[in-house]
Structure 1
Amino acid sequence: MIATTTPPVATPLLPAGTPVRLMVLKEINSRTARLGDRFKLRVDEPIYIDGASAVPVGSTAWGEIASVEKNGAVGKGGRLGAKLLYLDLPSGRVPLRGGYADKGDGNGAGVVLAVVGFGILGLLTGGDSARLKAGDSFTGYVDVTPPPAAPPSVVAIPSAPLQASAAIAD
């Protein structure tokens, strides 16, 4: 009896530079974020290669906090920078490039009002935090085309079992 197997369907490769529309799932702000924190993104628009769906809506991508500066006293606003890492697909990870940066608004007028109302303690009034808001979307790009998947290796099975040598020298 001959067993036949169907080869796995290969996911089309994504060429370098392919745009990927991504959406932030959970708000990240300069007040709570730390350098190196990773966060999840969602693919917001499908990607088709030669008419075949290569990346469906809802696929997961990952980003990382690349820079963070907390908001400070005297109305100083926070800063936040993030970079894209990769896209998770059933066929493996696809590297992405791109990033996002935001600067929180300063609060000069608030500081003046706080000094008038609270005296010198009003100088402790901080500015706004920088943030990546849930639902914000931006475009990243495929960084490098992943290598094609290696075909399954074929192992030849000998037709007769191997026999050990019976002669052992004393």
Structure 2
Amino acid sequence: MQAEQEAQFQEFVRARWSHLVRTAYLLTGDAHHAEDLTQTALAKAYRSWRRVVRADNPEAYVRRMLVSCNSDRFRKRRVSEALTAVPPEVVGGDQGYTEVDERSALFGALAQLPPRQRAVVVMRYWEDLSEAEVAEVLGCSAGTVKSQASKGLAKLRTYPGLARMTPAGQGGSR
């Protein structure tokens, strides 16, 4: 890789690292897996950086690599650990911890979704991508995105930990 491309890649990583790790965390439900997944996707992006920067949106290209690497985790081998609905640490009921409680409940609920539904929900509602952008990232049709989002949201609505949350705009926090 030429020095100029090397510098471009390093700048991209510095600018987008935390965002990519956060997305990976939402896909995997585990901070360590999220960092490993992000590193794997960025290693692949590094090897093909010329192609990545020629894309209309390099971030979307790398995000797609991230989702593909996450899917590969399940194809290559069975994941030995089970994602749980309740995090092992229980946060106290103090008012200052409400947002942490809600995020923990949301992360637990996301962990219960099948990988494809989780990817759609994360990309569509956390990353705030359009249906067309999610379809492009996941390599499927917009109709598939709509149906997977609908199924995923329906499952999230039945998750007990989310039932106590107040919808945004009605006095609760996001």
Q: TM-score, normalised by structure 1?
A: 0.20
Point out the structure with the larger helix share.
Answer: 2
Point out the structure with the larger strand share.
Answer: 1
